[in-house]
């Protein structure tokens, strides 16, 4: 039997931000996050092999995740760490997917609205 963890949570509170990096750093929000949310998980689906490619999620200043490997085509990897000091993004905040070594990947940022 599946139980409900929090009766206040609604399906609509959960959402995914999908970013195709095309080998370059992508600014998702630049001081214009519409509502406060928490990052729960990040998965990376590598599109094109980039030997030592990585991606990480930042709030524009601070790293939210570790550098996630995005090096081999078809490989799916996920964040090894998510920093609880920075994974809450305030309304009006910023969010970026930072690419190293031309990692070409589809990044899925799993979130929950917290306001």
- Count the alpha carbons within 13 Å of 74 in the hemisphere toward its beta carbon: 0
Q: pLDDT tens across 13-61, in order? A: 899 999 999 989 999 999 999 999 999 999 999 988 877 899 999 999 9
Global pTM value? 0.87
Q: Which domains does the chain have, with CATH numbers?
A: 18-113 (2.60.120)
Q: pLDDT tens across 56-102, in order? A: 999 999 999 999 999 888 889 999 999 999 999 999 999 999 999 88
How far are the Cα atoms of 14, 22, 109, 112 from residue 9, in angstroms, in the given order? 9, 34, 19, 9
Q: What three-state secondary structure class fits 13?
A: helix
Q: What three-state secondary structure class fits 57?
A: strand
């Amino acid at each position: 039997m599946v139980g409900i963890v929090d009766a206040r949570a609604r399906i609509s509170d959960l959402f995914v931000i999908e970013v195709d990096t095309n080998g370059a750093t992508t600014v998702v929000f630049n001081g214009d996050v519409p509502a406060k949310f928490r990052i729960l998980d990040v998965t990376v689906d590598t599109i094109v092999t980039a030997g030592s490619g990585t991606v990480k999620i930042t709030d524009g200043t601070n790293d939210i995740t570790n550098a996630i490997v995005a090096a081999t085509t078809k490989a799916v990897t996920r964040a090894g760490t998510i920093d609880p000091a920075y994974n809450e993004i305030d309304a009006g905040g910023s969010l970026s997917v930072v690419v190293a070594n031309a990692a070409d990947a589809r990044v899925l940022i799993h979130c929950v609205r917290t306001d």
